[in-house]
A and B are shown apart, each in its own frame.
Chain A
Amino acid sequence: MNFNSFPFLLVFLPATLLLVAIARKLRIPRAPQLVVFVASMVFYSWAKPANLAYLLASIVVNWQISQWMSAATPESRARKRLLQLGFLLNIGFLCVFKYVNFLLTSIPYFAAHHIRLPDLAFPLGISFFTLAQIMYLVDVYQEVAPPSGLFDHATFVSFFPYVISGPIAKARRILHQFPTLNATAGPSADTVARALYLFSIGLIKKVVVADAFSQAADFGFDSARNMSALEAWVFVSCYTLQIYFDFSGYSDMAIASALFLGIDIPRNFDAPLRATSISEFWTRWHISLSEFITAYLYTPILKTFSRATLVTSGVATLLAMSIAGLWHGPSWTFVIFGFIHGVALVINQIWKKQFKKKKGKKSFELPDPICWFLTLAVVDLAFVFFRAGTLPVALAYLPHLVSLRHPFSTANLVQMNGAGIMVAVYVLAQIAGVAAAFFDKSSEALAQNFKPATLNLVATCVFALVALVFLNSSMSKPFVYFAF
């Protein structure tokens, strides 16, 4: 089920909130949690009920491993073996659905003999709930978090606001909030008002702004001919903005949906397109994934080296980012996407640690606008591979970025815009999007500073109504990250 759909907005969310409120009034222990769990099952299985079996199997297996781990004595070999078994099963689960055929087609012998598994349509959200459970197993292994009961674990993993596309939540952050979920009082009016405000922002970001940018990005990647350098950068920047508004809008709606129930889930974006370095970008973009990469990929890889130096740290960065790229999907384009970010992060590390030191007293720093511009250029360049789908398409796009033949020609932009009312609507949405992405606070920051004032009231109503009109005009596109 999509957050930006009428079944969710008009039936699922109101019905869930109402049933949770009734369950709270009934004072039956953990009845609200049961309602949320059942609602999450409905939400997850809405499009394809068969997927539910995979989710439930993954939940039960991981929970059982966590139980065995907690029963084993600390520091015992069995405990470590169980953690390894957990890794093996989770990564194997991901591989069967996403990566086996990719690996087979990437190895020349298998590719030549057309040896492949049947293409299995991977369960929705597999990349997200598998990572959440790997983090859970590590936390239990390290005794950072106690093992939870099956009901709590199942509710945590399947929680509908994040089960399909994140944010990737840690068990220890969510489980301790279940008493609040089950409490008779429920969330305060302040929290609900903040949730309503944030949800309306997320909805308009996805339904209006992201889809307006997708019109331009789709044209650039699918239909444009003889692009100038200017056009190539404009189209890929539109894709960057599309994916930012698409995913951050989704995350806003996820956070807001959880807030309606009184649960605070991690934020995922913090105005990333205003970052002035690539390392800052990754502290603001898909934050929950960045934290996973740092804690569960980069650090363990770095620890495998005898000592941490600039070189070993660089190798760990490249490996971790390439794996993170591959996490998005079984394609070399995603690996290259991650690798480009890895290279940029390594250069950033060298710049910080070496160049600045050599300058001695006063470190050499580029002006912020230039840093911002360079960061955005790297992000755009990586997104060419993210958007292209196949390597040949990406490689065909790249020369346009540096083409000196009519570099400032706007023929494709003119052709894309054409004329008509919808163009005006899209251009307005795009202008608003550029202003919001580069000059305004992040929506999470806006929600944190939320006051129940008239201006916010008008904004919430306008955002909700405009988004509903767009939603009812059957123009909305699916979330980009649903594909992962």
Chain B
Amino acid sequence: MTSRTWISRVLAAIALVLCVNFAAAIALDPYGIFRDPRGRKLQVVFAARKAKFLLSKRYVPANFDALLIGPSSSENWDPASIPGVTMYNESTLGANVTEEKRIVDQALSRGHFKLAICILYPTMTTNHTMNDGLDAVTTAEALGSIHLYIEEAAQILAALHRPIANASAPNGATPLKGSGQRFDIAHFTASYFDVDPVAVADYTHMVESLQANGARIVYVIPALYEPCRLLNAAEFAAYQRKMQPILPQAATIDLSSSEFETFRANPDNYVDCFHVGADGAAKISTYLAQHIN
């Protein structure tokens, strides 16, 4: 083989593989970007931040008119029971509000939303670092990337009736990973309640953008397992006192109030101090449906 032939074959082979790859990406389209996303049921199995960012470009605006925005404590809440709206759960493991804002901004650029539930919890405003490449993610990743191939593989397995465990529901609700209960009841470090000014500004801007889009805002203060909450009650109360006047005014549902104490005291509702299990998530969803209605 001459060098000239070798070069031609290398370039042709790369071009061919890229074309096949693009064709597969467009045909399977696990992020709902290249084909009409209306009525499709797309799940997230990997790299949730990037996946929810890409799904929020077309899939979320086309199929949902309400958003649940929060960290992992609301990741497994299934918002399907809330009447009058079709809600997508944008909550992501370990997310801060700057990350959530980047995801929500995508949805707002194309969609109209009637309702947005925003979780008000210290980890949302501790820092404004974007993780897992969320700051750099682009639509081009839906044409060829590691997370795309994993989503494509999951889609093919699902079509073969071999669904992936821990995949999200089409409305973004994601079962918690791991098994068993583990309660580390302790005082949280002071840095847990740090309030980052950039994150707070992002929270305010995100809520204002949602309101400008026509969405009614409901803040939700999540329910921690009661023994954990009691140990840190003063810090949580101080955090809420600090945040409430800064953020745009809206209704608040306080799951840390006395009304919800029985739920919080029952360890069967939890997998750890912060996260509710499947049953607990179902109860919270029902409660939210009644109260928001």
Contact = CB atoms under 8 A, between A and B. Distances in A.
Interface of B: 1-7, 9-10, 13-14, 17-18, 46, 50, 133, 136-138, 140-141, 143-147, 149-150
The binding surface of chain B is classed by DSSP as: helix
Given A189-B2, A189-B4, A425-B146, A472 B13 contact: no
A421 B150 contact: yes
B137 A192 contact: no
B141 A472 contact: yes
Interface residues of A, number: 26
Given A189-B4, A192-B7, 20 more contacts: A189-B3, A190-B3, A196-B10, A452-B1, A454-B1, A457-B13, A460-B10, A461-B10, A461-B13, A461-B17, A469-B146, A472-B143, A473-B133, A473-B147, A474-B133, A474-B136, A474-B137, A474-B138, A474-B141, A475-B133
Nearest to B12: A461
Contacts of A453: 1, 6
Contacts of B9: 457
Interface string A442-461: 00000000001110110011
B145 A193 contact: no
Contacts of B140: 6, 472
Contacts, number: 69
B258 to A, nearest CB: 39
Across the A-B interface, the 5 shortest Cβ-Cβ residue pairs: A452-B6, A474-B136, A474-B133, A189-B3, A473-B145
Interface of A: 6, 188-190, 192-193, 196, 421-422, 425, 452-454, 456-457, 460-461, 464-465, 468-470, 472-475
B3 A192 contact: yes
Contacts of B136: 474
A205 B17 CA distance: 21
Contacts of B6: 193, 452-453, 456-457
Contacts of B50: 474
Given A422-B146, A473-B133, A188 B3 contact: yes
Contacts of A193: 3, 6-7
A474 B54 CA distance: 13
Contacts of B133: 473-475
A6 B133 CA distance: 16
Contacts of A421: 46, 146, 150
A461 B3 CA distance: 15
A270 B103 CA distance: 45
A361 to B, nearest CB: 53
Nearest to A200: B10
A451 to B, nearest CB: 9
Contacts of A461: 10, 13-14, 17
Contacts of B145: 469, 472-474
Contacts of A190: 3
A422 B17 CA distance: 23
A385 to B, nearest CB: 27
A191 B140 CA distance: 32
A473 B146 contact: yes
7 contacts: A425-B146, A452-B5, A453-B6, A457-B1, A457-B13, A468-B18, A473-B147
Nearest to B45: A421
A189 to B, nearest CB: 4
A422 B149 CA distance: 12
A52 B234 CA distance: 55
Contact of A468 (B1, B144, B150): B144
Contacts of B143: 472
Contacts of B146: 421-422, 425, 469-470, 473, 475
A49 B171 CA distance: 45
Contact of A469 (B5, B10, B144): B144
B132 to A, nearest CB: 9
A311 to B, nearest CB: 52
A473 B2 contact: no
Given A188-B3, A475-B133, A457 B10 contact: yes
B137 to A, nearest CB: 5
A453 B14 CA distance: 16
A461 B8 CA distance: 12
A188 B140 CA distance: 35
A190 B13 CA distance: 19
Nearest to A468: B144
Nearest to B133: A474
B165 to A, nearest CB: 13
Contacts of A468: 18, 144
A96 to B, nearest CB: 32
A6 B18 CA distance: 15
Nearest to B4: A189
A297 B165 CA distance: 62
Contacts of A457: 1, 6, 9-10, 13
A452 B144 CA distance: 28
Given A189-B3, A190-B3, A473 B150 contact: no
A185 B162 CA distance: 59
A382 B10 CA distance: 41
A6 B46 CA distance: 24
Contacts of B14: 461, 464-465
A186 B142 CA distance: 38
A215 B5 CA distance: 39
Contacts of B5: 452
Contacts of A460: 10
B3 A452 contact: yes
Nearest to B13: A461
B144 A189 contact: no
Select the residue from A190, A464, A465, A474 with max chain B CB neighbours within 10 A.
A474
